[in-house]
Structures are given as structure tokens and as C-alpha cells.
Amino acid sequence: MRRVTLLTLLLASQAWATLPRVFILGDSIQAGVPGVRLQSSVPSVVLGRLGHALVQNLSAPGATICNKPPLIGGTALGPTLWFLKGWFGTAGDPHRSGGLLIMLGRNDWAGDADPMQFAADYAALLQSAPPGLPILCVTPLWAVDEGMPNEWGLTAQDFRDLIASTCTALGVPVLDGLTLTPHEPSCFTDGLHPNDWCSRHIGRTLARALRARGWL
């Protein structure tokens, strides 16, 4: 049996430290849902398309930007990003840092988050990220409930607009989530979560967007 020595681990950690890192901060669509194979999940497809890189998936089902007791929202993830960026050896090296992909907001809209608080928390998350870490924000994907208002009388598009205006004010690029999938119910398992094919399609489209922005 091959022995794993301390030297082997150190060499491996040094090799990992040279790879670009892409952090994905999302909800159940990025975390993985029933009916979508692991190799078809958005992070897996992004990793496969990017090749020599590491994808750190920080997504979780039900994730939001705003705090929703007893759950903590994405606005509190700044320290985690600082820790991971430093731990993996990317601090201070923009050519190896990859970037942060934020794909949140759908659950905030569906959960009737206060729109002003949502915008403030989204801005707080962007401002808490490590300096020099490229960020790309993706607005909520298409779903069959497009046009339906929440308890604030706001639609998913209104929350897309909030994200876009918040990012623009802070100089952060935005990718319109409506462009990532066909607007066709058959591409979704339940009207919200993409099926196996659609999940792969999202991953491929995102990988092209990251390459176009020079992350890798």
C-alpha cells in the first residue's frame, strides 16, 4: 500500500494553491436537486468545462441573501470567503483567485423578503468579499411563476432589477439569469428546479461566461 507522507501532503497542498478557485454561492439549484445527476449539477459542469480549476460550492437548499431566523443569510458569508481565499493560497494573486459567482435572490423573493433590506444585505455581501476577488452576480433564473407578485406586490423581475441596480452602484458585473435557460416548463422538474439537461445547459453557459471574463 502506498504511504501518504507529510511531504506528499505538503506537495499536494502547494499544487492546489496554484489552481484558480471559483466560489459558487447559490441555493438548491446549485447545491443539487433530486432528479439531477451529480455529474450534471451546475458546479460539476462548470468544473468540467473549466478544466484545471477548483470549484468551491458554498450553495445550500433554501439559501437566501437576507437572514431568515433561524437561518443565516448569505450576507454573513464574508468571513467564510476571506478564510477560504487565504486557506487555499489565492490571497493577493488575482491571476489565480478565480472569482465569486453569486446566484441568490429567488428564495428571498419567494419568502417575501423586505426589498429594501434585500438590497442592503446584497450590497453588504458584495462589500464584505476580499478585495481583488472578481465577482459575477447572476439574477434568478426563469420559472413558471414569472409575473406572479409576492406579498410585497413584487415579481421575480423586480428582484432581478434590485440585484442589477445594487451591483451597478458598486461596479459589480451582472449576468441576466433569464438568459441561462429556455423559458419552457418541460426543462424543469417542478416549474422551478431545472431538470438534468437544463442543469447541464446552465453549467455550460456559466463556464463560457467565466472564461469570457478572463477568470481562468
Express each pLDDT in 159-209 by its tens digit.
Answer: 999 999 999 999 999 999 999 999 999 999 999 999 999 999 999 998 888
Express each pLDDT in 19-64 by its tens digit.
Answer: 777 888 999 998 877 667 777 788 788 877 766 677 888 888 888 9
Q: Give the number of domains in the chain.
A: 1
Q: Do the domain assignments include residue 5?
A: no
Strand pairing class (174-175; 135-138): parallel
State yes or no: pLDDT of 5 exceeds 90.
Answer: no
Q: Do the domain assignments include residue 176?
A: yes
Q: Do the domain assignments include residue 42?
A: yes
On average, the pLDDT of the chain sits at 82
Q: Do the domain assignments include residue 14?
A: no
Q: What pLDDT was estimated at residue 216?
A: 64
What SS3 class is residue 145?
coil
State yes or no: pLDDT of 120 exceeds 90.
Answer: yes
Express each pLDDT in 73-110 by its tens digit.
Answer: 666 666 666 656 554 444 445 445 578 899 999 999 99
pTM: 0.83
Q: Do the domain assignments include residue 10?
A: no
Q: Do the domain assignments include residue 30?
A: yes
How many CB atoms lie under 10 A from the CB of residue 19? 16
Report yes or no: 81 and 125 within 8 Å, Cβ to Cβ. Answer: no
Q: Do the domain assignments include residue 2?
A: no
Q: What CATH number is associated with residue 81?
A: 3.40.50.1110
Report yes or no: 40 and 202 within 8 Å, Cβ to Cβ. Answer: no
Q: Do the domain assignments include residue 70?
A: yes
Q: Which domain range does residue 29 map to?
A: 19-212
